[in-house]
Amino acid sequence: MRRYLFPLIALLLALPALAAHQPMSDPPVRVGILMFDGVQIIDFAGPYEVFGNAGFGVVTVSPDGKPVTTAMGLKIDPDTSFAKAPPFDILLIPGGDVADAQRDTRILDFVRERSPPAKQVLSVCTGAFILSASGLLDGDKATTFTPRIDELAKAFPKVHVIRDVRWADNGKLVTSAGLSSGIDAALHVVAKIRGVDEARTVALRLEYDWKPEGGFVRSRFADRYLTKREVQSGVDWPKDATFDEYVSAGDMDRWVTRYHVRTATPATDLLDRLDVGVRKTGLWKPDGMHRWLSRQENRDVTLTFTTKAGSDASHYDLDMVVVASPAKQ
């Protein structure tokens, strides 16, 4: 019995590796990953790991096939150029610093050309801006990186932008929220092609806690009630001020953002300036000393500014705290 047991164990141990590394000369599913200067590493590398472990053939492609520099400075040498790229079953559009990419006619034309024959098109994070700029998302739902959801909605009014999801699936076109959500959406695409059991198997190989129903959704957290851009635009910021954000944490009911501030402007003066900025939004009502109240999503939301003294008068901490009351039914 022992003579047969050890070969069987060896075979079972080898099966995951064999399944995860099928020959790529003729892969059953081909994936093309768009690469451009400013691309975010996790946006393409996370899904690359998922698709590679699923046994799909993955090819990275840039407009001219030349190396690109990621948003964090890593140099990447793509496999091929747009002109020489093979057919794809899945087209992945990662995000990052996409300001130039979403206006690059070479990239937009490539997305428009390669999307129709593909079975799935997946954008990650701010890759939704590229996909939206191509016009392919018009009339469909989409999501993106949490801090830029409102910007996506404003820039592309024909796209139905949603925020309360980790990914949005229109059938062929799938968009995911920020960064690691691309891993979840890639697993979702694997599940659509191969089934949930195979997608779970891939997730386990990656030691990734995948939730097919959606899981963690960053945009549900309480800082969504603080319209930072609108508040900041109305503040008369001291010209010499520097702000180092070193805490940004919370949950769906409470959020704290803490900055180390360096400026000759006294803390009391800065708090007054913040109050002016909040008042200008028209969204908040005064509710005490440097404390504001608004009604959002059927919840009472308070916004409070406080400071804490530092090493001297020109160094101090600034806290912006958002607290939402329990939702009323």
pLDDT average, residue stretch 234-252 = 95
Task: Quote the crossing angle between the two packed helices 181-194 and 41-53, to the nearest 10°.
Answer: 30
Task: Decide: helix, strand or coil at residue 238.
Answer: coil
Q: Is the pLDDT of residue 4 over 80?
A: no
From the list 115, 125, 30, 113, the residue with the least C-alpha distance to 79 is 30
Sorted by sequence, the CB contacts under 8 Å of residue 304 that are 6+ apart come out as 290, 291, 292, 319, 320, 321, 323
Q: In the numeric block, which tokens belong to residue 177?
A: 């929220």
The letter for the amino acid at 234 is G
| Distance, CA of 302 to CA of 325 (rounded, Å) | 9
The letter for the amino acid at 233 is S
Annotated catalytic residue, options 29, 125, 203, 322: 125
From the list 190, 193, 207, the residue with the least C-alpha distance to 52 is 190
pLDDT at 146: 94
Beta partners for residue 254, in sequence order: 323
pLDDT at 11: 47
Give the chain's mean pLDDT: 92
Neighbour-count burial for 169-203, b at 16+ CB within 10 Å, e otherwise:
beebbbbbbbbbbbbbbbbbbbbbbbeeebbbbbb
Is 125 in the active site? Answer: yes
Task: Quote the crossing angle between the two packed helices 41-53 and 196-205, to the nearest 10°.
Answer: 120
Neighbouring CB atoms inside 10 A of 206's CB total 16
Q: Is the pLDDT of residue 209 over 90?
A: yes
pLDDT tens profile 104-115: 999 999 999 999
Q: Is the pLDDT of residue 2 over 80?
A: no
Given pLDDT bands bounded at 50, 70 and 90, which one contains residue 15? Answer: very low
